[in-house]
Structure 1
Amino acid sequence: MPEIRQSIAQHYHKRTKYDPETITKKSQGLDWSKQPVPFKEYKIGSAFDLKPYLQNKPESYTSDSKIRQWQRLSRLLFSSYGLTAKMPSLGSAVYLRSAPSAGGLYPAEVYLVSRGTSILPSGLYNYQCRSHSLMHFWESDIWRDLQEACLWHPALEGTQLAIIVTAIFYRSQWRYEDRAYRRICLDTGHLLGNIELAGSITDYRPHLIGGFADDAANELLYINPQQEGVIAVLPLADLLDIQQNLPAWNTALPSRTDTDYPQISDGELLNYFHQSTRIQLGTTGNVNLPVVQAEKSLEDKYNFPFCQKISTVTNPIYWGENLEDLELNIHQRRSTRAYSGEDLTLDELKALLNFTYQPQDYINQNLDNCPDYFDLSLIETFIVCSGVEGLETGCYYYAPKAQELRQIRFKNFRRELHFLCLGQELGRDAAAVLFHTADLKSAVNQYGDRVYRYLHMDAGHLGQRLNLAAIRLHLGVSGIGGFFDDQVNEVLGIPEDEAALYVTTLGRPR
């Protein structure tokens, strides 16, 4: 009986694994003369300057309704993807943004589509983060075209604004080659996490759409699909307009599963894979039905007999009056470069997990108690604790429904963590290292090859919440997208089909 061929998503994941035997052979010196510029500029169009409307405190809002709308939109975009620091580097400058990006390459671009509001004429806008402005580069009403590209998703019926996030592939591929697609989706997930939280701060509710007709969405923005591709659409419901207080809908649709792919050369795999995960216009999907929330009684995936179980129930993090501290934390977030090796407390770890996985605990602070993800049921969380007071060293499975840690391995893994994080001291010196994984074969069976996007964007979204919670608690945090994949599975003791998606290190900064 012939062997069933892996899907292109499984093939891509296996082929882009880092392996200790081959990573030095594959790595090449970077051509710094070809380093991509992480900004897209439009030379023609009308610029709308958002800087005058940046306000740190909601009470500074004017009574003028149009100015209030400008203030809200300005803060939303700045907290989502604005420039928050300028750092000198090799005789030039590196601009840091509110959302983290691997290697500071920022592959995501942010566009705004207006249906025609009192402040924004209808058409297409690009967010120029370097000048914190909107460039109105297409003035025609294209909202109906957006609805068609999004397969008539209900969230676009009553909203007036939508954010479109694209990926400019070469920005990350220049450094990370074909594996860059993983990092592009993780970085987009960081951005989606910021948009969701910034929406709560500014009274917008983003409705995430991952199921859309790719070619139609790309044509809508007049972008070259070989260089740039739409990766997420987010209609913005205005929560101050009662008619835009909308239910949640399905965020993800399946694509085809491609098992009939040719032999693909190195350097061509990323683009081929992305194109294979497209949804074609005319595809029908059940997007009109509200999301059916999972039953709270459903069990978490792993429930090992006789393992030690530690409750993670705790008081929620307080984000200040009107979420002022959350907004400040978004602006101040930085990735930690080195840890001291000191322990975290168990209460600190519980608080990190609570903000990341238990949004229902934050409804009293006016945060969305059920933010949009693609499908969190596909993602599992493991934590290797090397220095958490009150916890034995070892590997734990985090059960978010039961809100408990379940110990599955008893060992100090600092040496293994140092190795699997490509020799980065962050892995060795961190007090805890959190891993997001997914059963890739099962996920592909549910959503087709497009699920690879969904998994990594969801992992990035969770990672960004961990980032912000750590900064709030004055802890260090750094996400790692480069690791020895198979060694992760060995440390966690999980099967080969469980794909490692993302690593987040946590500890006390040096």
Structure 2
Amino acid sequence: MSRSLPISAYYHQRTKYDPETIAQRGKQLDWSKQPSPFKAYKIGTSYDLKPYLELDKNEPEWEALSFFLLLSYGLTAKIATGGGQSMYLRSAPSAGGLYPAEVYLISRGTELLPAGLYHYQPQTHNLLRFWDDHCWAELREACFLHPALEKTQLALVTTAIFYRSAWRYEDRAYRRVFLDTGHLLGNFNLAASIHGFRPHLIGGFSDRLMDELLYLDGEAESVTSVLALNTNPQNSSFGRTTLPSPAMLDYPELDDGELLSALHQASKIITKASVPPRQPDALEDKYNFPFGLKVSLASISAETRYSTRIDWGEDLEELEETILKRRSTRGYTGEALTFDELKQLLNFTYHPEDYGEQGLMDDPDYFDLSLIETFVAVSGVEGLDSGCYYYAPKAQELRQIRFKNFREELHYLCLGQNLGRDAGALVFHTADLALAVSRYGDRAYRYLHLDAGQLGQRFNLAAIQLGLGVSGIAGFFDDQVNDVLGIPDDEAVLYITTLGVPRDQ
């Protein structure tokens, strides 16, 4: 049946939370069916990475790989949940602690790792080689001969086990799966800088060939991203990070419970499409409202260029410590942030070029940041009026949209979570979904949430380093966010990051 909306826009409309219908969506969780966050293989050759965390083995290549995986997705804490059960936290956050993402490593064949397929097992910090054969040619074919795979010897692959999130969040889980994977990509980029790697992000691949390469069924578990892992951290990004899928307009009426799977299948790439050259980024920020206050965040002189830069310590030691101690904040005091703290948070998230001198990648890969817009609802920031602001990263300024204290409305918009009410600021990542789909087809929905998740992870780590609290929110009243904050109607809200002074946990 031909429709007016592509299936990604249809999915987005159908999975919105609305005050009048959210009670109907709720269901009693069957805790006996709670999925395990760990995947096990019954056979394979195990490579124990734990000994190389001791720094006394004098095997720098193993140490680099071990720490890189630990910082990206390793276990960082164990919390008792009652009844003799425990929940394990990881270096990347995940909605509900469900961790739908899995990490695989493909080796072309090195002195370190023989050719084959490897699965990272965070519960034991092991690499399990479950297929010992040369498969690099198949990887390159699945990625349409992407140039980033020509000279490197290792590749990372992320997958999603959808039921882990759908068990709790039902069809809306597709959003959360890709936000969670975006957090993981953010860690890959930052941990790589610490330990001498350069990831090259590949989002355009044949889903069927990648799933077959890893022996996945493509439905219960499927590939979500590929990264060529170069051992030369100085290499700049090259090759396209994106390719389009079709925009599906012919699909049946879908029942609840069918939306997630239908969108994933529709957003797959079957063959490499002919794509026009990538358009240069716009020279100016999207919105320049003719009214309201404009607050500059830029340094005023060469001498103070880095005045808003976060210091990550010698050899990025403090970044490593921050990744390992990161936690999602459960409550805020309601106290105000300082204006300098907000500037530092925005600077680290949107201006990686300011951190090259510290050893961080100054051009980390994203899919298409030109599609992501950022709005900041200020409830308590010293020196800033309460209200909603558009963040213009090119001009480095906040442009006021509405002048109002939104604390109670934010509490409501965030489904009654006190985090929304008590935070000093809430950052909203949005996108013009119609524009994104016109550029990348239904696959745009993946790219948007992956990029929003990666930006959210940079906020996470910057806030922790500054001694602040931070927590992401993917459950909110979609349309009401636009109405309350005055955000343009064509901006679909992807993700919210709350920032504030943490209450003692």
| TM-score computed with the length of structure 2 as normaliser | 0.95
The 3 A distance-change label for structure 1 pair 487 and 417 is same
| Cα distance in 2 for residues equivalent to 1:146 and 1:99 | 26
Out of 233, 245, 261, the position equivalent to 1:255 is 245
Q: What's 2:4 paired with?
A: 5
Q: What does residue 463 of structure 1 align with?
A: 456
Shift of 1:305: 1.2
Q: Whole-Å Cα distance in 1 between the matches of residues 43 and 140 of structure 2?
A: 26
339 and 246 in structure 1: CA distance in 2 versus 1, 3 angstrom threshold: closer
Aligned to 2:65: 73
The answer on whether the counterparts of 2:243 and 2:273 sit within 8 Å (CA) in structure 1 is: no
CA distance in 2: counterparts of 1:125 and 1:380, whole angstroms: 37
CA offsets 1:314-370 (integer angstroms, 9 cap, x no match): 431000100000011000000000000000000000000000000000010011111
| Aligned-pair CA distance for 1:293 | 6.1
Question: Is the aligned partner of 1:193 residue 2:178?
Answer: no
Matches within 5 A, 1:81-96: 81-91=73-83, 92-96=85-89
- Kept after mapping to 2: 8 A contact 1:237/1:246: no
Kindly provide the CA deviation profile for residues 252-307 of structure 1, in whole angstroms up to 9, marking residues without a partner as x: 11110001111111111101110000001x424569x8x77636xx1100001132
Secondary structure of the structure 1 residue equivalent to 2:41: coil
Q: Offset of 1:493 from its aligned partner?
A: 1.3
Amino acid across the alignment from 2:272? T
Amino acid at match of 1:26: R
Mapping 1:129-208, distance limit 5 Å: 129-208=122-201
Choose which of 293, 296, 306 in structure 2 pairs with 1:308: 293
What corresponds to 2:303 in structure 1? none
| Corresponding residue for residue 236 of structure 1 | 229
Identity of aligned residues (%): 63
SS of equivalent to 1:438: strand
2:323 is matched with which residue?
330
Is the 2:473–2:496 Cα contact (8 Å) retained in structure 1?
Answer: yes
Q: Which AA in structure 2 matches 1:74? A: S
**1:483 Cα deviation after fit:** 0.3
Aligned partners of 1:319 and 1:495: how far apart in 2? 36
Of the structure 1 ranges 382-391 and 307-316, higher mean CA displacement relative to structure 2 is found in 307-316
Amino acid of the structure 2 residue aligned with 1:46:
T
1:346 aligns with one of 334, 339, 344: 339
1:30 equivalent in structure 2: 29
- Against the structure 1 CA distance between its residues 293 and 471, is the aligned structure 2 distance closer, same or farther, given a 3 Å change threshold? farther
CA 1:432–1:229: 2 relative to 1, 3 Å: same
What CA distance in whole angstroms lies between the structure 1 residues aligned with 2:180 and 2:11? 18
Q: Please state how far the C-alpha of 1:37 moved relative to its aligned partner.
A: 0.1
Q: State the partner residue of 1:16.
A: 15
**What is the rounded CA distance, in whole Å, between the counterparts of 2:266 and 2:167 in structure 1?**
21
Quick check: 1:320 aligned with 2:318? no
Secondary structure of residue in 1 paired with 2:201? coil
CA pair 226-322 structure 1, distance change in 2 beyond 3 A = same
Q: What residue is the counterpart of 2:420 in the other structure?
A: 427
Q: CA deviation at 1:13?
A: 0.2
* C-alpha contact (below 8 Å) 2:387/2:400 kept by paired residues: yes
2: CA distance between counterparts of 1:255 and 1:413?
Answer: 39
- Tell me how far apart the structure 2 counterparts of residues 260 and 436 of structure 1 sit (CA, whole Å): 29
Q: 2:481, 2:341 → 1: CA distance?
A: 24
Q: Which residue of structure 2 aligns with residue 264 of structure 1?
A: 254
Q: Which amino acid aligns with 1:479?
A: G
Please give the per-residue CA displacement for 1:22-68, whole angstroms capped at 9, x wherever unaligned: 1111101000000000000011000000001115xxxx576x5xx21
RMSD: 1.6
| Alignment match, 2:302 | none
SS at match of 1:272: helix
Match of 1:389, SS? coil
Aligned AA (2:431): A
Whole-angstrom distance in 2 between the partners of 1:275 and 1:25: 27
Q: Does residue 272 of structure 2 align to residue 283 of structure 1?
A: yes
Unpaired segments of 5 or more residues in structure 1? Answer: none
How far does the alpha carbon of each residue in 1:139-176 deviate from its partner, in whole angstroms, 9 at most, with x for none? 01000000000111000001100000000000000000
Distance in 1 separating the partners of 2:74 and 2:36: 16
Count how many residue pairs are aligned between Structure 1 and Structure 2. 494
Query: Which residue identity is paired with 2:64?
Result: R
Contact 1:155/1:246 (8 A) holds in 2: no
Q: Distance in 2 between matches of 1:181 and 1:45?
A: 31
What secondary structure sits across from 1:207 in the alignment? Answer: strand
SS at match of 1:310: strand
How do 1:470-489 and structure 2 match up within 5 A?
470-489=463-482
* TM-fit CA distance, 1:472: 0.1
Deviation at 1:97, TM superposition (A): 0.2
CA distance in 2, matches of 1:158, 1:294: 28
Partners of 2:78 and 2:389 in 1: how far apart?
Answer: 39
| Residue number in structure 2 paired with 1:110 | 103
Letter in 1 for 2:202: I
Aligned equivalents of 1:140 and 1:213: distance in 2?
Answer: 21
Runs of 4+ in 1 over 6 A off after TM superposition: none
Q: Deviations over 1:402-460 (max 9, x none)?
A: 11111110000011100010000000000101100000011111110100000000000
Q: SS of the residue aligned with 1:323? A: helix
Q: Does 1:294 align with 2:281?
A: yes
- Contact preservation (8 Å) 2:237, 2:364: no
Q: Is the 8 A contact 2:413 2:477 kept in 1?
A: yes
Q: Secondary structure at the match of 2:244?
A: coil
Cα drift, residue 239 of structure 1? 1.3
Offset at residue 4 of structure 1 (A) = 6.5
User: Is the CA contact 1:172–1:184 (under 8 Å) kept in the aligned structure 2?
Assistant: yes
Alpha-carbon separation, structure 2, partners of 1:488 and 1:102: 20
Shift of 1:10: 0.4
Q: Tell me if structure 1 keeps the 8 A contact 2:237–2:363.
A: no
Residue 145 of structure 2 aligns to which amino acid in structure 1? W
Contact 2:147 2:238 in 1 (8 A): no
Contact 1:422 / 1:484 at 8 angstroms: preserved in 2? yes
Tell me the equivalent position of 1:410: 403
Q: Distance in 1 between matches of 2:163 and 2:292?
A: 46
Instruction: Provide the rounded CA distance (Å) in 2 between the counterparts of 1:29 and 1:412.
Output: 35
The CA distance in 1 between the partners of 2:32 and 2:268, in whole Å, is 33
